[in-house]
Amino acid sequence: MMKKVFSGIFLTLILFIISSPTYAATAQIKIDGVTIATDANPTVKNNRTMVPLRVISENLGATVHWSDSQVTLTKNEMKVILKLNSNKVVKNGKTELLDVKPFMKNNRTFVPMRFIAETFGSNVDYKKGTVTVDTKPLVIDGVKIKAMQYEFHMTMGGVIQQMKGNSYNEAIYNIFIENKGSKVEAPANYSWYFQLVSAGDYYKNAQYDFLDQDGKSIKRFDIYSLAQSSDGTSFAQPQVLIHDATENQWYLFNQTSSQAIDQLFYRASMNGFVTLISNTVV
């Protein structure tokens, strides 16, 4: 008799967990074929997959701004305003209703994955516990970009890596396009290697190639920095230049934009979008 009572209680508990509308299951997320590592597992609430906000901000290319319990997501011309524990959302000035409210759990904000992804132009599919998100590829001069190749050299050898996240590729490309300054003449002296230039010359920090579906470079930018003097002597020259190798044209650039590119590449690497192609540094 006791065994039957225990079995009944156990069965009731299992049925309650399975049918609970709040946190019924967890899901894995893949964006552009990459499984995303998150600091909080996605979960299902009221049959809707909810994901930590960081997944949206970092991997769909949206920026996040917090104000009290309100969060604003922006990407290109799209602006979305969400509030915690409210099913009202404002999308480019128009109010809509969500099926499930954004909520806070373990100091992480969870938002509805499908609504956010589709709002920012991505396709979403769910199958066997995996949410698959495909974002729109970057298009340059009518050509779809498959990956961005990043290369830098040391005195002995160099490193080549590829990044395949569409949103990251687009963000980095836009930094180059939107922040390049006036055209300038090519420096008198420049080199791949810092050790081979003198103070006042330029050395190449890195090379960025945007590759088509066949791996051919469609657009290439090189970032050059001014070599400083060890005694602190200043030079009346731009600190950073970019070379549009596709057009063989030099432009003014700035350190802030260069650092923003580094930060995006680092973030993409931490989220699994970067693959090492070769490393010959010795």
pLDDT number for residue 192: 83
> Does the global pTM surpass 0.95?
no
Enter the tokens of residue 6.
């225990």
Which of 57-71, 190-204, 226-240, 256-270 has maximum average pLDDT?
256-270
Q: Does 49 or 196 have the greater pLDDT score?
A: 49
One-letter amino acid of 18:
I
Query: What's the distance, CA 30 to chain centroid?
Result: 13
Distance of alpha carbon 110 from the chain centroid: 18
CA angle, 214 then 176 then 262, to 5°: 90
Taking 90 as the threshold, does the pLDDT of residue 196 lie above it? Answer: no
- Written as six digits, the tokens of 43 are 């979960």
The token pair at 222 is: 């090189």
- Of 83-87, 99-103, 189-193, 229-233, the poorest mean pLDDT is in 229-233
What is the pLDDT at residue 97? 94
Domain-wise residue ranges, the chain: 22-134, 140-279
132-166, pLDDT tens digit by residue? 999 999 999 999 999 999 999 887 889 999 999 99
Instruction: Give the highest mean pLDDT range of 59-63, 131-135, 221-225.
Output: 221-225
Report the C-alpha gap between 279 and 33 in whole angstroms: 24
CA distance 127 to 129: 6
Average pLDDT rounded to a whole number, residues 174-196: 90
CATH superfamily of 22-134: Copper amine oxidase-like, N-terminal domain (3.30.457.10)
Q: Mean per-residue pLDDT for 197-218? A: 93
Chain-centroid distance of CA 120 in Å reads 13
